[in-house]
A and B are shown apart, each in its own frame.
Chain A
Amino acid sequence: MNANFQIQLPDGYTREQIEALLAANFPFKVEEPVSEKWVFYDTFDWLLFNRSLSLHQSGQELFLRTLPDGEVLFSLFITAPPGFSWDLPDSALKNHLGPIIEPRTLLNLIELQMQSCTYRILNTDGKTVAHIIFIEAISTQNSSPITITSYLSLRAVRGYPKHVRQISTYLEQAGFDFSDWEDFYFCAIEAAGIDPGSYSSKINVQLEPGMRSDEATKIILRRLLEVMKANEAGIQADIDSEFLHDYRVAIRRTRSALSQVRDVFPADTNTRFKEDFAYLGKFTNKLRDLDVYLLSEDKYCDMLPDVLRDDISPLFEYLRAQRETVLKGVSDHLDSERYIRILSAWEEFVNEPVPETPEAANATMPIIDLAQWRIYKRYRKIIKDGKFLLEHPQADLMHALRIECKKLRYLIEFFASLFPANKIRQLIDELKRLQDNLGDFNDLSVQQEYLLSIAEELPISNKETRRALIATGSLVESLANRQVQVQEDFAETFTKFSNPKNQELYQQLYASKERKTAS
């Protein structure tokens, strides 16, 4: 913060006290106080905070700093408040920020009014030999402004090191401690009662190996419900595409838990909620598809030959218009009576204590046994199906394998807390590579079909839309070519995934004791 020394002042310390303190020993001149608004930003899921970064706007300038030391990494002049990183002016800050937050938008976290008053310390010639700056951070969130913290910053003037030493010694003797201070960021979030990092779409629950399976499963399901509820408002307010994405993942995980974690709840309850969540999942499919197409607009344009690049825009305009209608539908759905009924029944169920004598067969099984059994079974099926696929390449089998991998991934994540974290990370990295390949294959085929169906819907009224049709056709061709490439990559990706070392790791973590001794 361009300060040579900084002191955090005790609460309630005033300008008058500072002036009295200085007047006794150092002649000074006071400058006009300056007031400036600071706005701190982060994404909904704390992507900056999680990387120990703080972003704030002060005046017309945006600062990206490291926490907790407050070192400025990049700054940038801006004319409008920041939102999506791609809307920022081209700069080093944008290049650094983009990969961290995309496609999330920056939300206004806290606003502070920073009032600073500079005291110039003078020598006998009336020359300024040091600056002492009294800074008050004032929260304006509430109706009456509150000073949340104040600082004294001592800034040296070049060529006058002796004076700074004198002043700092004097202040230390007066009882101030230079080493003990917290960044404005932390003071502000604490004052506002904000808990940084409080939202994450990750499962992060802590399970115990000996826990009853029905109880452990409910812990996971409660966490997933929390994620769903946390994202509802953001979907309706249309802040960015990731609210819907996280919400949908939570629904898919819930469905996966209901079917993969076998026989821990009564069969009729299970069936009922499986149906309910299938309904909830379907409701947002179309909106997510549209989000995906609109987010890849630039990527699609790059795939087109130069002559067609501008012609595709009617297609995206059409998709944007359609998204408006679909969003309205989803928003109404979230307010609908049926939705509220489903969710409150679900909430009641997951919060209900587990019965002492459950009817479901696996309810009281220790969760570690159930986890190992389910994960190992899925893994072996993937290896078997994948090997078959290597010899008989087929599109529908690729899709089926993709679903299997997703189920395995969810199971590994549900029960991650029962196993060593470093090994889980390794497994997930390997699995993710395979999933990416299968996911790309699936996306490319879905996109081709979708574009063709949109082409049928696209109203042809003029020359422009005709050209948009040609461009769409060209796009479908590019996607088809790429799909062939992705399918060819499968062999290599799968062979890597099924390597003996990885197999051994699965066996070590998940094969039950009997199986381990048998093999």
Chain B
Amino acid sequence: MTTLALYGNKGGVGKTAAAVNLAYLAAQSGRPTLICDLDPQSSTTFYFRVKPKLKRKARGFERGGRPLFRSIKGTDYENLDLLPSDVTHRNLGITFNRLSRRKHRLDIILDPLRDEYDLIILDCPPTINILAENIFNAADYLLVPLMPTVLSSRAHSLLLDFLKRNKYAVDNVYGFFSIVNRHNKMHREMGMAMFTQFNNILLNPIPYDPHVEQMGIYREPVPAFALRSPAAKAYQSLWIEIQKIVLKER
């Protein structure tokens, strides 16, 4: 069982799109997969046509166990289940803060689910508060979408510094390029610079592709409605690379 977090402290870089499409591809390859929507904006939940609602709201999430279990919804795809978001997720950090082992709450509540799923994918909101630390403790690997821009590069440096300062392993943090326009000279140059600056940058980028935006209209993962689109192919290549490089599978 592996837990992968799609994480980044910068918004609008394609975390949710990556989480949804990678979870879909993992499930299609036969792995029982759970995608957890931790973002109060509940975009992942929306993409899967599920209502953003948890049994017993935040209390259900705090305690884990049965209410959490009963909140899980089967998606329209085989092997893929969803733990929906809830509006109360905007206070998740504060909620965790009140409890014992406050930085390990997420790890604790996910634990019973690890028998049932081969892969758990966390779709995380862009924060670097206590919720972020819960994510670092619960996830085996962090996948960080990076745009080849100055701000994105700066945000990644800050993240790595934070992790080092707080004694979290940075070996398990992998970056991949997202929303890339290969005709844009600055994207190309910035991309090259980031490759040399950071370790663990994956080789397969996700290009800018309107099909990703159309996910909101179709309410489906890209490969489910546009199998031959550049984005679908890019997610497929990225997923293969993740299995090989990150999960170290043969």
A residues lining the B interface (CB < 8 Å): 120, 125-128, 157-160
B76 near A127 (CB under 8 angstroms)? yes
Chain B residues near A127: list those with CB within 8 A: 48-50, 76
CB distance from B78 to the nearest CB of A (A): 10
Chain B residues near A160: list those with CB within 8 A: 73-74
Chain B residues near A159: list those with CB within 8 A: 50, 70-74, 81
B72 near A125 (CB under 8 angstroms)? no
A125 to B51, CA, bound (A): 9
With both beta carbons as reference points, the residue of chain B lying nearest to A130 in the complex is identified as B74
In the complex, number of A-B residue pairs with CB atoms less than 8 Å apart: 28
Chain A residues near B74: list those with CB within 8 A: 128, 157-160
A126 to B48, CA, bound (A): 10
**Interface digits, B59-83 against A, CB 8 Å rule (1 contact, 0 not)?**
0000000000011111010000100
CB distance from B66 to the nearest CB of A (A): 13
A128 to B73, CA, bound (A): 11
A157 near B73 (CB under 8 angstroms)? yes
- Is B219 located at the chain interface by the 8 A CB criterion? yes
A127 to B73, CA, bound (A): 11
Query: Given known contacts A127-B50, A157-B74, A159-B70, what 14 new A-B pairs fall within 8 Å (CB)?
Result: A120-B76, A125-B50, A125-B51, A125-B219, A126-B49, A126-B219, A127-B48, A158-B73, A158-B74, A158-B81, A159-B50, A159-B73, A159-B74, A160-B73
Q: By DSSP majority rule, is chain B's interface helix, strand, loop, or mixed?
A: loop
With both beta carbons as reference points, the residue of chain A lying nearest to B76 in the complex is identified as A128
A159 to B219, CA, bound (A): 19
Chain B residues near A158: list those with CB within 8 A: 72-74, 81
A127 to B82, CA, bound (A): 13
Q: 6 tightest CB-CB pairs across the interface, nearest first?
A: A159-B73, A158-B74, A127-B49, A157-B74, A125-B49, A128-B76
A128 to B220, CA, bound (A): 12
A120 to B77, CA, bound (A): 11
With both beta carbons as reference points, the residue of chain B lying nearest to A158 in the complex is identified as B74
**Interface digits, B148-172 against A, CB 8 Å rule (1 contact, 0 not)?**
0000000000000000000000000
A125 to B84, CA, bound (A): 15
CB distance from B153 to the nearest CB of A (A): 39
Chain A residues near B49: list those with CB within 8 A: 125-127
A157 to B75, CA, bound (A): 8
CB distance from B76 to the nearest CB of A (A): 4
With both beta carbons as reference points, the residue of chain B lying nearest to A128 in the complex is identified as B76
With both beta carbons as reference points, the residue of chain B lying nearest to A161 in the complex is identified as B70
CB distance from B97 to the nearest CB of A (A): 29
Sample (24) of A-B pairs whose CB atoms are under 8 Å apart: A120-B76, A125-B49, A125-B51, A125-B219, A126-B49, A126-B219, A127-B48, A127-B49, A127-B50, A128-B74, A128-B76, A157-B73, A157-B74, A158-B73, A158-B81, A159-B50, A159-B70, A159-B71, A159-B72, A159-B73, A159-B74, A159-B81, A160-B73, A160-B74
A160 to B51, CA, bound (A): 11
A127 to B50, CA, bound (A): 7
Chain B residues near A126: list those with CB within 8 A: 49, 219
CB distance from B52 to the nearest CB of A (A): 11
CB distance from A325 to the nearest CB of B (A): 50
A95 to B54, CA, bound (A): 45
Which of A120, A125, A128, A159 has most B Cβ within 10 Å? A159
Chain A residues near B51: list those with CB within 8 A: 125
A125 to B49, CA, bound (A): 6
Chain A residues near B71: list those with CB within 8 A: 159
A128 to B81, CA, bound (A): 12
A126 to B219, CA, bound (A): 9
**Interface digits, B98-141 against A, CB 8 Å rule (1 contact, 0 not)?**
00000000000000000000000000000000000000000000
Which of B71, B72, B73, B81 has most A Cβ within 10 Å? B73
With both beta carbons as reference points, the residue of chain A lying nearest to B51 in the complex is identified as A125
